[in-house]
Structures are given as C-alpha cells and as structure tokens.
Amino acid sequence: MSKPQVWTWEPNSNSGKPLFALCQKGVEFDYHYVNMTDFEHHSPEYLARNPAGTLPTMEHDGKVFTESTPVCEYIDAAWPDQGPRMVPPDPRERYRMREIGRRITRHAAALSVLGWHNFVGPMARSKTQEERDRIIARIPTKERRIAWQTAMSATFTETQLAEARAAVGRGVMEMEELLTQNPFLAGPAYTIADLDAFANFYSLPMTVPEYANKEKAPRYIDWLIRIYNMPGTMEAFGLARSLARRAFTLKAELEAGRQPVQVTLAEVQRQDAEAKGGGASR
C-alpha cells in the first residue's frame, strides 16, 4: 500500500487525530504542516484537496479522508497487523467505544471557547486589517466568512468563560467516572474513544487546573500519563511546531506529580516564528 499523506495543523484536537493514530500504530506517512493560525486551511492549495476547508485531510491510495474520527477507524482497519488494534473486535465493545467517544467529544465545544480566548483569537487579532481582510476573502462559503469575521473580533465575557470552564470541568468528571470502571474510557484496552478524548483533552491540567488535578481527578491524571507514555504519542507531539509543544512540559510535570502551568501566548508565538517554513517529511 502507498504511504499516506497528511495535511494538518498541530497534534491537537481534530487536527491531531490522524497523527496520533498513525504514530501509535507505527505507520509511515508524510506530514504537511498547515498553519491554522495563519488560516492556511483556507488557501487555494488546501481547498483544492478539501473544498470544505476543514482540518485534517489525509490521502491514501487515491482516496481523500477528512472526518477526523472515522479517519482513525479507517487507519486501524487499513493496517490491521501493524501496531495495536484500536477498534475492539466485539460488536458490543465497538458500540461502547463509539458511544463514549461521542459523549466525551461533546465537551470539546466548550474547550474551543477557551482555546479561542487564550490563543487563536489574540493571534488572529494581532494581524493587520489588510491581512485579516485577505484571510476572510478566501474562505470558501459566505456562511463561514460571516462566522469567521465575527470570531476574529469576538471576545468573551467573564460569565461566558466561567461557563465554558465549568462545562469542560463536567467533561473531566465524566472521564473520571468512566475511569473508575475501567483503565481506559470504553473498557480494558485503549480504543479510538481514548484517542479522541486525548487529542481534545491532553492539556486540561494547564487549561482548567481547578478541575483537572490529581485531587479531583486522579484517574484522569493517571490515564493522561499512561497515554503520554504509549509508543508513538510523543513522536506525534514531536511534529508540533507551536501550541502542542506544551505536551513535553505537560508530560514532565504530570510525571513529577506537579500541576503544569499554562504556556503563555508569547511563548507560543515565539515557537510559531521559529517554525515559519515549508512542509516536512517524517
């Protein structure tokens, strides 16, 4: 089979899912970095591959794959004999994996409010009006142009931010509760439910330390450490050039039993500046 090609941003949230799946299974692939904070996913080259302008995009054997969780199920099925199986063979366990994956992923919307507030929004607003107009103009649909225009200047009230933090906190508690029953979210073994949840929530001890700490959520913290130490996880984070480099600090601090401190926007922007350049092969 041919080598998969992946166009995506950081190993973070939806962008990260195929990177974790491929690295954890040990499948070779070419990685093409798409700088989301520069809105490169709305560039004509990217839209030619994925007209919806969503991240990630994977190509394999002439087919295009863009829905991040189904992409991971595909990767597991396409390389059944390579690395761990991430989809259980029993239909009841497969159902449970998909149920838990969907339930936990619903908390990601609240987290994206915090991600926007802390990083993406300030980065977008640091651009000149001319750059912003150019970025908006190439967004594929009118609906999404309006949505991004609003988002670019959007700021959140303290109440909205507190509500988003509380909603993410409920996600932490839901994971904690599931982990009282099993070592992984959907049962005894690692599945794509864990992959999905980890891709979205690997950094919560930085983002919502008031919930994601070893007193309130000890099983969640242990689960994070276990996944940070799985073969392939840090290899995936090694592809990061910006925001997701915080994973190295997170891993070290959690292993030392300390609560990690949120990286600053300035630190992320410094890494972004260093990373300017073309695609890389892995």
Question: Which residues are near its own copies by CB under 8 A?
Answer: 61, 63, 65-67, 69-71, 73-74, 77-78, 91-92, 94-95, 98-99, 102-103
Which residue's CB is nearer to its own copies, number 79 or number 248? 79
Which residue's CB is nearer to its own copies, number 61 or number 215? 61
Query: Could you tell me the smallest distance in angstroms from the CB atom of residue 74 to its own copies?
Result: 4
Which residue's CB is nearer to its own copies, number 66 or number 207? 66
Query: Could you tell me the smallest distance in angstroms from the CB atom of residue 151 to its own copies?
Result: 18
Residue recorded with tokens 């999404």: 144
Which residue's CB is nearer to its own copies, number 77 or number 252? 77
Query: Could you tell me the smallest distance in angstroms from the CB atom of residue 171 to its own copies?
Result: 13
Query: Could you tell me the smallest distance in angstroms from the CB atom of residue 63 to its own copies?
Result: 5
Query: Could you tell me the smallest distance in angstroms from the CB atom of residue 78 to its own copies?
Result: 5
Which residue's CB is nearer to its own copies, number 74 or number 198? 74
Query: Could you tell me the smallest distance in angstroms from the CB atom of residue 103 to its own copies?
Result: 8
Which residue's CB is nearer to its own copies, number 173 or number 275? 173
